Chain A
Amino acid sequence: MAHLLQYVLNGLANGSMYALVALGIVVIYRGTNHLNFAQGEMALLATAGAWWINDKGVPLAAAILLAAAIAFIGGGVIEFGLIRPAGRKSPFAVVVVTIGLFQGLNSFTSLLFPKVGNGVKFGTLFPNKPADFFRLPGGAIWRYERIGVLVTVLVITGLLFALFQKTKVGLAMRMVANNPESAKLAGVPTNRILMMSWGLSAAIGAIGGALIGGINANINVSTMFGVFLLASAAATLGGLDSPLGAVVGGLSLGVIESLVSNYPKNWVASTYIGADTAIAVAFLIILVVLLVRPSGLFGSSRVERV
């Protein structure tokens, strides 16, 4: 039992990071109905920025917040300068632009911050000395750092929920997600809302990237690639238009990954299933879930009229 609890706790920590990047994907998907392939690389650039600001002597927490603020503006600029005009060109154009951004932003990061190209040390916001843990009854240990990451994710989700449900901007965002045409007719400044969605998503990505950097104690240009894939899987599992789904999807993906990579050790299956194939098993589970619920656990399905 202690082992089980331990694996779940480890999984929750990884899962929180997937959940944060997945939240960014969902916020953009709700607004524009496009999967943003550049989400991970946007987070990478922002995280590299946070590292650079921190390197100049600013405390890490302030550096991350500053980077998130810059990312908010940068996300808006990307929407305004690239995504919106591309959307007017052809249906495929936005997909191509995000793929192009994926390619361009990654190398842009190492051009702008050459040190990040080779990997740099990244500090953490939470205490992570060897003795910084909390022992649960049964022997499982819960490191403060992992608690901190999980709490951060839950706090951000709570803030997002409050934003969507309790503020006028959130109401406008929900309107645009629900029906852009009607939202426009009702006087919602659709374009500005979309810009804000992109900015919000980039800022969430910046915080997610900083947490990932903290847990790995390192960032490099390929950090975000795998995380993005898992995060998009998490977002799909939860339903691409549901923020709650992104969090549930991210956390459960982390837990599944952790359990699958640790449990079959004593089984015959261990030749085929193990740490390196945990992701494959996780994807298989997602596939099965999607077959039963084609728009994810919490996603809304749309009825098509002809």
Chain B
Amino acid sequence: MTTTMQSTSAGAPKAWPRPIPDSSPLHWVFRVIGVAVIAAIAIYIGLNATPSTLGNVTEACILAIAAVALNLLLGFNGQISIGHSTFVGLAAFAAGYTVNFWHWNAYWSLVLGIVLCFLLGFALGLPALRLKGPYLALVTLAVAFVWPTVAKKFLEQKVKKNSLKGTHLSPPTWTGLVSKGKDARLDKAIFLYWCGIILLLVAYVVVRNLRKSRIGRSLVAVRDNETAAAVMGVNLKFTKTITFGISAAIAGTAGWLSAARLDVFNDTSFTILNSIKYLLALFLGGAATLLGPIVGAFAYFFLDDYLRSHAPHWTWLPGQLSKGPIASFLLGAIVIAFVFIAPFGLVGFVKDQARRVFIVTPRPLRPALTPSALDDERPEESKGE
């Protein structure tokens, strides 16, 4: 727009970072390659991995779904929740109870879990209308703290046992994963793995589409400045409560998957520590980015798994350090170190690095304008998000 800017764009174009217009053929090539690589990895794991690896990936998917749910609420709408373990637990208990005691179809229990979590989330969203920041954090923390006692009462009064059995979700016949005997375990693991991948994909697509829609823009407006958003005509009450509900419902699918995967679970299976794990996974990957919670959850899960299985055997650590809960200590230290290396998470870090090589510039707003006039504005607009 100014003369200086025109002179830079009129002169020899800088080779790097290279601008790539949004939705241009080159951009599509990148997108397709990205999706293909991820799909190839997912299929490769599904075909070749051992049951225990598949189980780990499924577990990571559960963490990722919960982190995606939390990202919608905290990353995009700015409402903190330390209570997401409650939604995960509620859905898991609903599934375990209805399948084992009312002999429901396991898939119907998923619907029930989602509905219950949505309602509880919506209800929690109501006090959230009045409370801000740490006060809201405390209320959700309280919910997460109370859940185990409620679950324990439920187990005592209704189940009459101290644990609840999983749903023992078995693969339907059309999948062909119905071998008996030795392979049954592998078949079940493969089935649960694909359940995990598909539910994660669904959660991602739901959040992505929400984010890119009118509701998504109002979510972010509310996060950035509530008062200003209200003045602009965003319905605060509707936006905040509905976001809480949807986020809780997504977390519920993670709970259903847990119930399908675990043999037994009890009141201590879904505690505040799980909520903290979701938060850490989210921040590790990058809050308020679409892929962040997924990347973060996988990174967190496998880092944790690696440290737990390897760190106790590291003899090169000095004396005392090689004993005791070294894995947990290192995990805490790595998380803190990470804040300084990549304050906006892994995805933020990669984005920053990629920006040195190429920049995706937004599509022209009105095709009627001359392309040269738009060229001048692009470098500034590309800084957004």
Q: A residues bordering B, Cβ < 8 Å?
A: 29, 33-35, 82, 85-86, 89-90, 92-93, 95-97, 99-108, 110-112, 114, 117, 229, 232-233, 236, 240, 271-272, 276-277, 279-280, 283, 286-287, 290-291, 294-296, 304, 306
Contact between B332 and A103, CB atoms less than 8 A apart = yes
Chain B residues 227-279 with CB under 8 Å of chain A are: 227-228, 231, 272, 276, 279
Contact between B127 and A291, CB atoms less than 8 A apart = yes
B328 at the interface (CB under 8 A from A): yes
**Set of chain B residues within 8 Å of A102, measured between Cβ atoms:** 276, 332
Task: Kindly provide the distance from the CB of A25 to the nearest chain B CB, expressed in whole angstroms.
Answer: 9
Contact between B324 and A283, CB atoms less than 8 A apart = no
Determine which of B145, B152, B276, B321 lies in contact with A276 in the assembled complex, contact meaning CB atoms within 8 Å. B152
- Which of A34, A103, A104, A108: most chain B Cβ within 10 A? A103
Determine which of A97, A104, A114 lies in contact with B339 in the assembled complex, contact meaning CB atoms within 8 Å. A97
Task: Kindly provide the distance from the CB of B310 to the nearest chain A CB, expressed in whole angstroms.
Answer: 16
B150 at the interface (CB under 8 A from A): yes
Task: Kindly provide the distance from the CB of B195 to the nearest chain A CB, expressed in whole angstroms.
Answer: 30
Give me 15 A-to-B residue pairs in the complex whose CB atoms sit less than 8 angstroms apart, sorted by A's number.
A96-B279, A96-B283, A99-B276, A99-B279, A99-B335, A100-B336, A104-B328, A104-B332, A104-B333, A104-B335, A106-B328, A107-B325, A111-B323, A240-B134, A286-B142
B137 at the interface (CB under 8 A from A): yes
Contact between A294 and B135, CB atoms less than 8 A apart = yes
Counting from the closest, the 5 A-B pairs by CB-CB distance are A104-B332, A89-B343, A103-B332, A107-B329, A100-B335
Contact between B320 and A99, CB atoms less than 8 A apart = no
Contact between A290 and B335, CB atoms less than 8 A apart = no
Count contacts on B: residues with CB < 8 A to the other chain: 49
Instruction: Tell me, in angstroms, the Cα distance from A85 to B149 when the chains sit together.
Output: 39
Instruction: Tell me, in angstroms, the Cα distance from A29 to B141 when the chains sit together.
Output: 17
Determine which of A236, A272, A276 lies in contact with B134 in the assembled complex, contact meaning CB atoms within 8 Å. A236
Determine which of B132, B329, B332 lies in contact with A294 in the assembled complex, contact meaning CB atoms within 8 Å. B132
Contact between A96 and B276, CB atoms less than 8 A apart = no
Write the B110-152 contact mask toward A (1 if CB under 8 angstroms, else 0).
Answer: 0000000000000000010011111101110111011001101
Taking A100-B336, A111-B326, A236-B138 as given, write out 13 further A-B residue pairs in contact, using a Cβ cutoff of 8 Å, ordered by the A residue number. A35-B137, A35-B138, A89-B343, A92-B283, A96-B279, A99-B276, A100-B335, A103-B328, A111-B320, A240-B135, A283-B145, A294-B135, A304-B227
**Set of chain B residues within 8 Å of A280, measured between Cβ atoms:** 146, 149-150
Instruction: Tell me, in angstroms, the Cα distance from A291 to B321 when the chains sit together.
Output: 47
Q: B residues bordering A, Cβ < 8 Å?
A: 127, 130-135, 137-139, 141-143, 145-146, 149-150, 152-153, 157, 225-228, 231, 272, 276, 279-280, 283, 287, 320-321, 323-326, 328-329, 331-333, 335-336, 338-340, 343-344
Contact between B231 and A306, CB atoms less than 8 A apart = yes
Contact between B131 and A89, CB atoms less than 8 A apart = no
Contact between A86 and B320, CB atoms less than 8 A apart = no
Contact between B134 and A29, CB atoms less than 8 A apart = yes
**Set of chain A residues within 8 Å of B331, measured between Cβ atoms:** 103-104
Determine which of A86, A95, A99, A232 lies in contact with B138 in the assembled complex, contact meaning CB atoms within 8 Å. A232
Closest B residue, CB atoms, query A88? B343
Majority DSSP secondary structure for residues of A touching B: helix
Instruction: Tell me, in angstroms, the Cα distance from A117 to B326 when the chains sit together.
Output: 12
Instruction: Tell me, in angstroms, the Cα distance from A93 to B146 when the chains sit together.
Output: 28
- Which of A114, A279, A283: most chain B Cβ within 10 A? A283
Determine which of B134, B279, B328, B343 lies in contact with A107 in the assembled complex, contact meaning CB atoms within 8 Å. B328
**Set of chain A residues within 8 Å of B339, measured between Cβ atoms:** 86, 89, 93, 96-97, 100
Determine which of B130, B142, B338 lies in contact with A233 in the assembled complex, contact meaning CB atoms within 8 Å. B142
**Set of chain A residues within 8 Å of B135, measured between Cβ atoms:** 236, 240, 290, 294-296
A-B pair count, CB < 8 Å, reads: 141
Instruction: Tell me, in angstroms, the Cα distance from A279 to B283 when the chains sit together.
Output: 30
**Set of chain B residues within 8 Å of A291, measured between Cβ atoms:** 127, 130
Determine which of B137, B336, B338 lies in contact with A82 in the assembled complex, contact meaning CB atoms within 8 Å. B336
Determine which of B131, B283, B321 lies in contact with A111 in the assembled complex, contact meaning CB atoms within 8 Å. B321
Task: Kindly provide the distance from the CB of A112 to the nearest chain B CB, expressed in whole angstroms.
Answer: 8
Task: Kindly provide the distance from the CB of A44 to the nearest chain B CB, expressed in whole angstroms.
Answer: 13
**Set of chain B residues within 8 Å of A33, measured between Cβ atoms:** 133
Task: Kindly provide the distance from the CB of B175 to the nearest chain A CB, expressed in whole angstroms.
Answer: 39
Closest B residue, CB atoms, query A299? B135
Instruction: Tell me, in angstroms, the Cα distance from A33 to B333 when the chains sit together.
Output: 23
Contacts A92-B287, A236-B138 given; indicate if A97 touches B336 (C-beta within 8 A). yes
Closest B residue, CB atoms, query A111? B324
Closest A residue, CB atoms, query B341? A89
Contact between A290 and B139, CB atoms less than 8 A apart = yes
Instruction: Tell me, in angstroms, the Cα distance from A105 to B279 when the chains sit together.
Output: 18
Task: Kindly provide the distance from the CB of A234 to the nearest chain B CB, expressed in whole angstroms.
Answer: 10
**Set of chain B residues within 8 Å of A283, measured between Cβ atoms:** 142-143, 145-146
Determine which of A82, A90, A111 lies in contact with B329 in the assembled complex, contact meaning CB atoms within 8 Å. A111
Contact between B145 and A229, CB atoms less than 8 A apart = yes
Instruction: Tell me, in angstroms, the Cα distance from A291 to B128 when the chains sit together.
Output: 9
Closest A residue, CB atoms, query B227? A306
Instruction: Tell me, in angstroms, the Cα distance from A269 to B343 when the chains sit together.
Output: 49
Contact between B323 and A233, CB atoms less than 8 A apart = no
Instruction: Tell me, in angstroms, the Cα distance from A82 to B343 when the chains sit together.
Output: 13
Contact between A279 and B127, CB atoms less than 8 A apart = no
Instruction: Tell me, in angstroms, the Cα distance from A298 to B198 when the chains sit together.
Output: 49
Contacts A90-B343, A99-B276, A276-B149 given; indicate if A35 touches B227 (C-beta within 8 A). no
Closest A residue, CB atoms, query B287? A92
Task: Kindly provide the distance from the CB of A289 to the nearest chain B CB, expressed in whole angstroms.
Answer: 11
Instruction: Tell me, in angstroms, the Cα distance from A280 to B151 when the chains sit together.
Output: 12
Determine which of A97, A229, A296 lies in contact with B272 in the assembled complex, contact meaning CB atoms within 8 Å. A229
**Set of chain B residues within 8 Å of A114, measured between Cβ atoms:** 320, 323-324
**Set of chain A residues within 8 Å of B335, measured between Cβ atoms:** 96, 99-100, 103-104
Task: Kindly provide the distance from the CB of A45 to the nearest chain B CB, expressed in whole angstroms.
Answer: 12
**Set of chain A residues within 8 Å of B130, measured between Cβ atoms:** 290-291, 294
Contact between B149 and A277, CB atoms less than 8 A apart = yes
Closest B residue, CB atoms, query A301? B132
Instruction: Tell me, in angstroms, the Cα distance from A189 to B139 when the chains sit together.
Output: 35
Task: Kindly provide the distance from the CB of B104 to the nearest chain A CB, expressed in whole angstroms.
Answer: 26
Task: Kindly provide the distance from the CB of B124 to the nearest chain A CB, expressed in whole angstroms.
Answer: 10
Closest B residue, CB atoms, query A29? B134
Instruction: Tell me, in angstroms, the Cα distance from A80 to B377 when the chains sit together.
Output: 42
Instruction: Tell me, in angstroms, the Cα distance from A89 to B139 when the chains sit together.
Output: 27
